Amino acid sequence: MIQHWDLFLAPYKQAIDEMKVKLKGMRSQFTMQSEHSPIEFVTGRVKPIASILDKAARKGFSLEKLEEEMQDIAGVRMMCQFVDDIYRVVELLRIRNDFEIVEERDYISTKKSSGYRSYHVVIRYPVQTIDGEKKILVEIQIRTLAMNFWATIEHSLNYKYSGQFPKDIQERLVRAAEAAYLLDAEMSQIRGEIQEAQAIFSRKKENKDTD
Ligand code: 0O2
Ligand code: 0O2
C-alpha cells in the first residue's frame, strides 16, 4: 500500500518541485529588473496521505477517482505584500502556456464564513514521466502576508479543535480576520511610501555591492 501511495504521489511531488522553480523564477525576474515583485515568497507541499484520506471520506470522494475529484493533492502557495499584487499574479498565471487553468475561486471579493480570504487557481499541469506525459491538478493559493498569517493560525487551531471551535474563539477569529483585512487596506494606502523606501534601500544595496 505504501509503495502504491509513493507511485501515486510521485508525479504530484514532481509537479510541486517544478512549479516552485517556475514561480520563484518569476520573482527573480522582477528583482533582476529592480521592479517591485508581486510575489513575496512561494511554498509548496504534497498533501499528507492521512489528510487525503480524511478529506476523501468527508467529501465522499471515491479513491479510484481521487485525481479528478481532489484538486489540492498538490498545493502551491504564493504570498504577496499587497492585495493588488494578487490580481497581478493571477494575470501572470493566465498568460502562461505551460499549464491550463481549470478553475478560479475568488475568496477575496467573497470571503468564506470562517473569515478565510485567498484567491485559488486550479491548474492542469503536464508532468513528463518515463511512461509519458501525465496531467495532474495543482491548486495555487494566492494571498497576502496578512491573509497567510490568519489562515496559518486558524488552520492550526482547526486541528486542535477538530473544526469545532468554541463560540468565543470563533468570534475572535472572525475579528482577527477583520483586523487582517484592515491591515491589508491600510498597507495598500501607504503602498506608495513603502515602495519608495524599498527602491531607496535596493539602490543603496546595489551601490554597496558595487563598491
Ligand atoms: P529563501 O529565499 O532562502 O527564503 P525545498 O527545500 O525547495 O523543497 P522550500 O522552498 O525551502 O523547499 O520550502 P517550502 O516550505 O516550500 O517554502 C519555504 C520557503 O518559504 C522558504 O524559502 C522560506 O524562506 C519561505 N518563507 C516561509 N515563511 C516566510 C515568511 O514569512 N517570509 C518570507 N519572506 N519567506 C518565508 P526558501 O525556498 O528557503 O528561499
Ligand atoms: P490543507 O492541506 O490542510 O490546507 P473545502 O476543503 O471544503 O474547504 P474545497 O472545495 O476543497 O473546499 O476547496 P477550497 O475551499 O477552494 O480550498 C480548500 C483549501 O483552502 C483548504 O485546504 C485550505 O488550505 C484552504 N481553506 C479553505 N477554507 C479555509 C479556512 O476557513 N481556513 C483556512 N485556514 N484555510 C482554508 P484543506 O483541505 O484544508 O487542506
pLDDT tens digits, residue range 95-113?
Answer: 999 999 999 999 999 999 9
What does the pLDDT average to over 185-199?
84
Distance, in Å, from the CA atom of 198 to the CA atom of 204, rounded to the nearest integer, reads 10
Distance, in Å, from the CA atom of 5 to the CA atom of 66, rounded to the nearest integer, reads 12
- Cell 533582476 locates to 32
Distance, in Å, from the CA atom of 74 to the CA atom of 137, rounded to the nearest integer, reads 7
Q: What is the pLDDT of residues 198-210, one digit of tens each?
A: 788 878 877 877 7
Grid cell for residue 70: 481532489
Q: Catalytic annotation on 139?
A: yes
**Which residue type is seen at 52?**
I
Answer yes or no: is the C-beta of 188 below 6 A from any ligand 1 atom.
no
CA 44 / ligand 1 centre spacing (Å): 9
Q: What is the pLDDT of residues 51-84, one digit of tens each?
A: 999 999 999 999 899 999 999 999 999 999 999 9
- Ligand 1, atom 8: closest residue by C-alpha: 17
Catalytic position from the list 139, 178, 193, 196:
139
In the chain the domains, ranked by start, together with CATH numbers, are 5-210 (3.30.460.10)
CA 82 / ligand 2 centre spacing (Å): 21
Q: Is 8 exposed, middle or buried (0-12, 13-18, 19+ CB in 10 A)?
A: middle
CB–CB of 188/36 below 8 Å?
no
Answer yes or no: is the C-beta of 75 below 6 A from any ligand 1 atom.
no
CA angle, residues 100, 108, 154, in degrees to nearest 5: 105
What's the whole-model pTM score? 0.87
What does the pLDDT average to over 140-163?
93
Which residue of 16, 116, 139, 153 sits with most ligand 2 atoms within 8 Å of its CB, as the best mutation to test the pocket? 116
